[in-house]
A and B are shown apart, each in its own frame.
Chain A
């Protein structure tokens, strides 16, 4: 158990809908990263927040957005969902800018029907 929690564990929704995935990093972890794991694209970095501010962006679609709150939990918002958005979404936490390790949560499996 990494100490990183993600909710919900599973999510099934229809095309065109909007969902919110939630991540709580370990106590003291200031950085939160979001990754998408799909069969065709593999594991891809989406976005990083550090202490409430966006720090880096990867292959994140414009339909997706994220934020990190003052208590350091983060939410990933996915809108206008398409079948191809079905994937496992992981968040990872890290203590800070000088840390190499990232601690991954168990993931949220999103199925778009």
Chain B
């Protein structure tokens, strides 16, 4: 069964600093990869996705992620954190279009002024 690991359940950065949230998946078959963000008391919003093609994908709010097959990773980055980025971030995988998502445990990002 596929699994998704997010290293670090809590990450704290200063405003303006680099954001790096880590995601690794375990599968011999490369999945489709997603990052979702959840703000307090809200549902999940898609930040970005990788399906095929260019391995560096750009998403909303200045986030981007790179699919590295050799490392089975899909880390999420943003060059400069804003206070409004404070939220919980989930990495997810799927193995076919129209299929369920398998989520990682989530990483809560805190941004210090």
Interface, chain A (partner B; CB < 8 A): 2, 4, 31, 33, 35, 42-45, 48, 50, 55-56, 58, 90, 92, 94, 96-107
Contact = CB atoms under 8 A, between A and B. Distances in A.
A90 B51 contact: no
Contact of A99 (B36, B90, B98, B101): B98
Interface string B77-113: 0000000000000100010011111111110000000
7 contacts: A31-B98, A33-B100, A42-B105, A43-B106, A56-B99, A100-B32, A106-B42
Interface of B: 32, 34, 36, 41-46, 49, 51, 90, 94, 97-106
Contacts of A43: 90, 103, 106
Contact of B43 (A45, A58, A90, A94): A90
B97 A97 contact: yes
